[in-house]
Amino acid sequence: MGSEDMGTAIPTRHPAGPVAVPGLKPFAMLMGIGAPDARRWAAMGESLLIGDQPMDDLVDWMIGTGMADTRPLFEQAVAGGIDSVTDAPQPLRDFFTAVETPPDWLDEEMLRRGEQVLRRGGYDGLTERVAEFFATGVSPAPVEETIEIFAFLAAAEESKARGGAPVSVAEVLREARAEPGRRQ
C-alpha cells in the first residue's frame, strides 16, 4: 500500500494517497487546510526515509562499545542530564548537546501557550473539550488561539519537510490567510 515516486520506495505505512482521519475535518476546515496535492503527499512519504543522524551515531557507538557499559550512562543522562554523567564519553556528550539545545526557530512563547492549554485540563480535559466542541459546535477556546496552535504544528511539519529549515508560525498564518482552503 506504499507509494513510489521517482524510484524511491516510500515505506508501506504511508498509503498511496491521503485517507480520512476521523475527527480532524473540522480542524482542517478551521485552518483552511485542504488535502495535499500529489507532490506534497510524496514529500510527506519521503520524509519517512529521513534518518536521525545524531541518534544513529549514538546507537552505533553504544553497540560498538557494549550496551552493558553504555546503556546505564545513557539512562543516567536521560534522567539527570548529561552533566550528571561524570566524565561522559564524547559520543554521549555530543548527542545530548545536540538534542538538548533548542533550535533557533523555537518560539518559546508559543511553546508556553501550548503548555498552558494542556495544563488547563491535561489530556482528559482536552478530550472533554474536543467532545464538547463536536457536540455543541462551539469552541471552548478562542478561535485565534486554536488557529495559532495548529499553525505552530503546521510550521513544525513544514520545517521537517524542508530538512529542518526554520519556518515561522507567522509565515504559516500568512500563507493560510492568503489562500483559504488551498493550503497544502
Alpha carbon separation from 164 to 112, 158, 183 (Å, rounded)? 21, 8, 20
Contact 18, 35 (CB under 8 A): yes
Counts for the chain of helices (H) and strands (E), in that order: 9, 2
Lookup result for grid cell 513544514: 158
Lowest mean pLDDT among 62-66, 84-88, 153-157: 153-157
HEC sequence for 142-176: CHHHHHHHHHHHHHHHHHHHCCCCCCCHHHHHHHH
The three cell numbers locating residue 167 = 519556518
- The answer to whether residue 84 scores a pLDDT higher than 90 is yes
| Model pLDDT, residue 184 | 46
Q: What pLDDT is recorded for position 179?
A: 67
pLDDT reported for residue 6: 47
Local confidence band at 112 (pLDDT 50, 70, 90 cut-offs):
confident
Q: 524510484: which residue's cell?
A: 7
* pLDDT, averaged across the chain: 80
In angstroms, the CA 176 to CA 171 distance is: 9
Q: Where are the domains of the chain?
A: 1-50, 53-100, 103-178
Own/partner contacts of 118-127, CB < 8 Å, gap of 24 or more, are none
Question: Residue 3: its pLDDT value, please?
Answer: 45
- Segment 25-67, tens digit of pLDDT: 766 666 667 778 888 888 888 887 777 888 889 999 999 999 9
pTM, whole model, 2 decimals? Answer: 0.43
